[in-house]
Amino acid sequence: MSAPVPRPSPARGALVASLFVAAALAACGSKNAAPYPMYNPSPDAAGTGTAGIGGGLIGGGLAGRLGGFGGAVDAGAPSGTVEIAIESPAAGTILSVNAPADVSAKVTIKDGTDLVDPSTVRVSLVGLGGSSAAPLVGPSGDNLFTGKLSLAGLATGDYTLTVTARSSTNLEGSKSVSVKIDGGPKITVLSPIPGHHYKGSIIVQAIIDPGMYGPASSIGGSIAGSAITLQPAGPANEYRAVFDLALPVALTGDQIFEISAKDAMSTTDIKLVFNVDLTGPDITMPSPAPGSIVGQVIRLTANISDGAGLDTSTLQVLIGDKADPQFKLPLTLDQTGAFSALFDTKLLTQCKLPPSQSLCIVRPTVSFRAADTLGNETALSYEIAVDNLPPIADLVPPQIRVSKLDEGLRCSFAFDPLSNNVYSGDAPDDGCRVPQLFDLRARVEDTGNDATGLKQVPIVGVDPAVTAAYVLADTSQPLVVDNDGDGNCDVINPKLIPTTTPLTGPRQVLKVRMRPVPRAGAGDFTPDPSLPGGLACLPGKDTNPPVNICHVEQPTAAISYAGGVPAIWAVEPIAPDDPRYCFGSQLDTLANNVPQAGWRCIAVATADLNGNLSTSMPIRVWVDYEDQGAWCAAPPANAGPLPSCTGTYDRATDTVSPKACTARTFARPAGTPIEVCFNNDC
């Protein structure tokens, strides 16, 4: 038999128990101890715990949980249920949506050792008219949790209010009561409609249903802070009022409409925003832009929008005179989202080519018009310019003089702007004999619609993509033709086949691309005793002639027009910094298989950027590869008559006739003084 285990003295047992309690309290923190006891204060039925130091001194329940001295602490399995008692609101209470509900509930653990988790205590409200939820805060006092539950926006009806909580071991408890919500009268606004646009007077209409807690009272409203008196009208619960948006102060833009009504407990208040629209549609990004230079067929477009909606029957563009426009075109929505219409600017006026003196519209007014569905109108008007006249191209322009300021206006010697007219390879005149290579240049300037009193003729400029020289070997057919029946040469004969490679057949015509020569150099301002009277300039007084802009024999000046736009076009390449090509290159007839010993037709075809087409008058040259004579030597005696090189094209029959056409040149009428250009600008 083993010896009995000695029992500790009561004093020692009390000391050990005290140490365990002190250790437990130190671990939890004496200042932040949980609001619930760490153990059930009631001893178990036996009143004693399992064997262990401290035994019955601390109490059977706690001694059993602490276990033996030096062993692990055994807290045992938690137990109990979460018990909730809702103290406020009471079941059947009617709550108003105009104030949050005060909620309080007592939450405890029943028949167990578990703890309530304060973070899980919540209240929720659910019904057909909506829902709401909020946390409850506590505990305070006798395990009481409290909070406020928002009822804003809930509809009148029956609701279930439920408080839920969980223990620290996730045991859940809940308690519910039935309550009623007074959501106030139900207000349905028929007019104004949120976001809609109005002008003048507005009819305010609303249906106010008092619901189960009626009757409705204190019915009122306001617009922009001005009170509205709503009166019963028509069907039951319908109220109306008329409000003048212009009185006492005219309203414009977004405005706040407010309407409210009360029942037994609650007030319903509704606010919405509508727009007072006194302005017409926005017309933006018009095209062509103000001041644009247009011609031929154009598309008139603009972005048009209005919050009130567009009255599409009013969308139009007016063109012509500002006071009495000749054309009114409806605008339709296109695939870009803009409103547009096509218009042929030639309908404004058929400008005749000079020297005709017929009237010609130069700066018509474009006016976009639109109205919204409220009748507000907008007009956007501005001027554009019209250029329906083609450029002038001239292979044999007359001589000119240039001028400059030098103690008065001085004039240079007269000179040919294309050539010095000395060597056989210089640019030829009509009827000249030419060698294998010769300069091929033209004076090309755009022209535009003109009128008396006009200070600046609108021009869009020459289109380099279509400006080229054409050389025809078979002169039995015309090179240039009139294609619209007005007698003016417009295009290269469409029955010919343009080619950029050497000629190989009779219907081929050699196409030689041309480019502009930048303005450069100066005229000869040494004294010219032959300067004729009648010119508004004095003879030059320079002591030396100008420096040649190229290291080969070329004119000393390359002229321009319209404030610096190049007026001289030549065969490529053109390189201002290369003395070999500062005035362009030369045409090689042998390299391009242009046969010699015969008349050849040469013309320049061009167009402006509006698509107005024209050609030069052709020149006729006799090609002699080995000619080394002076400039423009006469052709041989057996050369025969000069070919016409012009004709007329019938679009309907696709035929060409020998009926001659003419082209504009820079030649001045007989008796007119020579052209004088200021600072090389003509």
Q: How is residue 556 written in tokens? A: 């000393």
What's the average model confidence in pLDDT over 588-612? 96
Q: How is residue 669 written in tokens? A: 């009428």
* Domain ranges, ordered by start, for the chain: 10-66, 81-182, 186-276, 282-386
Residue 78's pLDDT is 67
Pick the closest to residue 370 from 424, 316, 295, 413 (CA basis). 316
Cα end-to-end distance, the chain, whole Å? 142
Residue 77's pLDDT is 62
For residue 400, pLDDT beyond 70: yes
Q: Which residues pair with 544 in a beta bridge?
A: none
What's the average model confidence in pLDDT over 314-323? 89
Which amino acid does the sequence have at 398?
A: P
Burial class (CB in 10 A: 0-12, 13-18, 19+), 271: exposed
Residue 53's pLDDT is 32
Q: 107 vs 7, 113, 157, 308, 614, CA distance in Å?
A: 44, 14, 28, 59, 101
**Cis bond before residue 215 (omega within 30° of 0):** yes
Beta strand 238-244 with 201-209 is antiparallel
Summarised one tens digit per residue, pLDDT across range 575-585 is: 988 888 999 99
Q: How confident is the model at residue 258 (pLDDT cuts 50, 70, 90)?
A: very high
CATH code of the domain occupying 282-386: 2.60.40.1220
530 Ramachandran zone, left/alpha/beta (phi>0; psi -120 to 50): alpha
What Rg do the C-alpha atoms of the chain give, in angstroms? 52
Residue with tokens 């007074």: 182
- DSSP conformation class of 314: G
Residue 127's pLDDT is 95
Q: Which residues pair with 172 in a beta bridge?
A: 166
The pTM (predicted TM-score) of the whole model is: 0.71
Residue 350's pLDDT is 75
Q: How confident is the model at residue 355 (pLDDT cuts 50, 70, 90)?
A: low
> How does the average pLDDT of the chain come out, rounded?
87
SS3 44: coil
Q: How is residue 630 written in tokens? A: 């002076």
Residue 356's pLDDT is 67
Alpha-carbon distance of 434 to 226, in angstroms, equals: 94
For residue 424, pLDDT beyond 80: yes
Alpha-carbon distance of 558 to 241, in angstroms, equals: 81
For residue 2, pLDDT beyond 70: no
Quote the percentage of the chain above a pLDDT of 70. Answer: 88
Q: 36 or 464, which is more confident?
A: 464
For residue 23, pLDDT beyond 80: no
Q: How confident is the model at residue 603 (pLDDT cuts 50, 70, 90)?
A: very high
Q: How confident is the model at residue 38 (pLDDT cuts 50, 70, 90)?
A: very low
For residue 30, pLDDT beyond 50: no
Summarised one tens digit per residue, pLDDT across range 506-528 is: 999 999 999 999 999 999 999 99
Residue with tokens 């400006």: 467
Q: Which residues pair with 673 in a beta bridge?
A: none
For residue 68, pLDDT beyond 80: no
CATH 2.60.40.10 fits 81-182, yes or no: yes
* Cβ atoms of 433 and 361 closer than 8 Å: no
Alpha-carbon distance of 401 to 524, in angstroms, equals: 9
Q: Give the E-state strand segments of 295-336 in sequence order.
A: 297-305, 316-320, 325-330, 332-333
Residue 425's pLDDT is 93
The total of other beta-carbon atoms located within 10 Å of residue 534's CB is: 7
For residue 61, pLDDT beyond 50: no
Q: How confident is the model at residue 328 (pLDDT cuts 50, 70, 90)?
A: very high
Alpha-carbon distance of 338 to 341, in angstroms, equals: 10
**Cis bond before residue 192 (omega within 30° of 0):** yes
Fold of 186-276: Immunoglobulin-like (2.60.40)
Which amino acid does the sequence have at 271?
A: K
Summarised one tens digit per residue, pLDDT across range 160-210 is: 999 999 998 999 999 999 999 999 999 999 999 999 999 999 999 999 999
Summarised one tens digit per residue, pLDDT across range 228-252 is: 999 998 788 999 999 999 888 889 9
Residue 71's pLDDT is 39
For residue 51, pLDDT beyond 70: no
Buried-state track 322-338, b at ≥16 Cβ within 10 A, e below 16: eeebeeebebeeeeeeb
Alpha carbon 508 to its chain centroid, in Å, reads 48
For residue 365, pLDDT beyond 70: yes
For residue 441, pLDDT beyond 70: yes
Pick the closest to residue 477 from 597, 662, 656 (CA basis). 656
Alpha carbon 305 to its chain centroid, in Å, reads 14
Summarised one tens digit per residue, pLDDT across range 82-116 is: 999 999 999 999 999 999 999 999 999 998 889 99
Dihedral sign, Cα of residue 617, residue 619, residue 620, residue 625 = negative
Summarised one tens digit per residue, pLDDT across range 486-497 is: 999 999 999 999
Residue with tokens 């310019």: 385
Alpha-carbon distance of 607 to 447, in angstroms, equals: 10
Quote the percentage of the chain above a pLDDT of 90. Answer: 76
For residue 539, pLDDT beyond 50: yes
For residue 655, pLDDT beyond 80: yes
What's the average model confidence in pLDDT over 525-548? 91
Summarised one tens digit per residue, pLDDT across range 134-144 is: 999 999 988 99
Alpha-carbon distance of 355 to 456, in angstroms, equals: 18
Q: How is residue 56 written in tokens? A: 């019955």
Q: Give the E-state strand segments of 19-135 in sequence order.
A: 81-88, 94-96, 101-110, 116-127, 130-135
SS3 string, 617-659, reads CCEEEEECCCCCCECCECCCHHHCCCCCCEEEEECCCCEEECC
Q: 91 or 30, which is more confident?
A: 91
Give one DSSP letter per residue of 241-295, joined into a string.
EEEETTSSS---EEEEEEEEEE-SS-EEEEEEEEEE--S--EEEEEESPTT-EE-
Give one DSSP letter per residue of 444-473, joined into a string.
EE------TT-SS-----B-TTT-EEEEES
* Cβ atoms of 473 and 459 closer than 8 Å: no
Burial class (CB in 10 A: 0-12, 13-18, 19+), 35: exposed
The length of the chain is: 682
* Cβ atoms of 60 and 44 closer than 8 Å: yes
List, in order, residues 6 or more apart from 22 with CB less than 8 Å away: none
For residue 1, pLDDT beyond 80: no
Burial class (CB in 10 A: 0-12, 13-18, 19+), 478: buried
- DSSP conformation class of 680: T
What's the average model confidence in pLDDT over 150-159? 93
What's the average model confidence in pLDDT over 628-645? 92
Residue 360's pLDDT is 85
SS3 string, 341-385, reads EEEEHHHCCCCCCCCCCCCCCCCCEEEEEEEECCCCEEEEEEECE
Residue 357's pLDDT is 65
Beta strand 253-262 with 217-223 is antiparallel
Dihedral sign, Cα of residue 280, residue 286, residue 290, residue 293 = negative
Beta strand 144-149 with 282-287 is unpaired
What's the average model confidence in pLDDT over 626-644? 92
What's the average model confidence in pLDDT over 296-307? 96
Residue 72's pLDDT is 40
